[in-house]
Amino acid sequence: MTSNSNLRSVILTGDRTTGPLHLGHYVGSLRNRVALQHDHRQYLLLADNQALTDNAHDPEKVRRNVMEVTLDYLAVGVDPAISTICVQSALPALAELTLLYLNFVTVARLERNPTIKDEIQVRGFGRDIPAGFLCYPVSQAADITAFKATLVPVGEDQAPLIEQTNEIVRRLNRQSGKAVLQRPARLFRSCSRTWCSLDDHGSSRRAG
């Protein structure tokens, strides 16, 4: 890898493998990934472990859609020569890191996460919440930090997940006494159609 590529921002994005992607995915994220891959080091994660958190009753669906989502990526123009496509379950270090991070997060904090609260309501879990589903922000934090992502494309509804990742980063860095983990910023498209990043203090800057 050249020194120039090492200086580029690292993007982590991806999808839970619960079904084929559709036009809404293309408009909302896929076309942006195709554009971003030329100026960033981009990793696309097929989050099959996270898909199991509310699909454990149908693991075959999750397994089958790993290939379906991959084909969708290729069909819209994601280039595997410049974007790295990864299967979450094929990287056991991600699960190991998740287990470590769970020791630095309380159940009460997870239950306060607005994104999780909304998703629980949508799925009608009530108090019968699968533990894996409640903890998936921690899994996401493991994914982001393992890839040393500096930018994570998310909408406003997903912003609390990035905030929780940065809480974990700060805790682990304090614990170790040095900055061992990279704090990611949210990536979003501004009104001027340029890409900007937003850190967890609300400060914005041009990305790229």
Domain coordinates in residue numbering, the chain = 3-199
In this prediction, residue 5 has a pLDDT band, given cuts at 50, 70 and 90, of low
What pTM, to 2 d.p., does this model score?
0.86
Question: Where does 3-199 sit in CATH, by number?
Answer: 3.40.50.620
pLDDT at position 200: 52
Give the tens place of pLDDT for each residue, 93-133.
Answer: 999 999 999 999 999 999 999 999 999 999 898 889 999 99
Cα→Cα distances 6→1, 2, 9, 41, 184, Å:
7, 7, 8, 8, 16
Is 195's pLDDT higher than 60? no
CB 62, CB 52: distance < 8 Å: yes
- The residue that leads in pLDDT, 4 or 27, is 27
| Closest to 182 (Cα-Cα) out of 129, 143, 133, 130 | 143
**Interior/surface letters 164-184, b for 16+ CB within 10 angstroms, e for the rest:** bbbbbbeebeeeeeeeebebb
- The residue that leads in pLDDT, 2 or 180, is 180
Is 142's pLDDT higher than 60? yes
Partnered with residue 15 across adjacent β-strands are: 46
pLDDT at position 189: 55
